[in-house]
Amino acid sequence: MDQVRYVLAVLVLVSVPPALGLWFAVHPFARFWRRLGPVVSYAILLTPTAALAWALWTSRARLLGRDYHGQPWLMALAAAAALTAIWLQLKRRKHLTMSILAGVPEMSRSDRGQLLTEVIYGSIRHPRYIEFTLFVLAYAAVANYAGTWIVWLLG
């Protein structure tokens, strides 16, 4: 179980900050990226994203910090968070496709996308953000390393 916890901790550490960085690079500057188009935009954006992931990977031992070991009550929290996140995922993925998640319509010159208001989007404006936060919480609770909790808090 310790190996599983360590692998989850490394996955959170190496993937979440670059994913958030990519989102913050795309979403607020969509008008700029739209002029370049999705292919060129992602060709540019994936270089610093990969560099950040590599930097986190090479510093993982220091960044993960203390191992607080597996705790049964945290496993229960992780299960509840993961089940809620899965429920949200099932509700939102019918309308929020992988292409939309990746920001392709935002970067496209021709397809500006549309505001989603159906089903879950009628009651929760950003279910994907809640889903993401709950999944990271579940991973952090299972891994239970100081660094994963920091990533969750900052994410």
**pLDDT tens digits for range 116-139:** 666 777 777 788 899 999 999 999
Q: Most confidently modeled of 29-43, 45-59, 80-94, 106-120?
A: 45-59
CA dist 20 and 132 (Å) reads 10
* C-alpha distances out from residue 91 to 59, 95, 97, 122, 125, Å: 37, 8, 12, 11, 13
Contacts 24+ apart (CB under 8 A), 65-69: 65/145, 65/146, 65/147, 65/150, 66/145, 66/146, 67/2, 67/5, 67/6, 67/144, 67/145, 68/144, 68/145, 68/146, 69/2, 69/144
CA dist 80 and 77 (Å) reads 5
Q: Residue 152: enclosing H or E segment and its boundaries?
A: helix 146-154
Domain ranges in the chain?
2-154
Q: Structure pTM?
A: 0.87
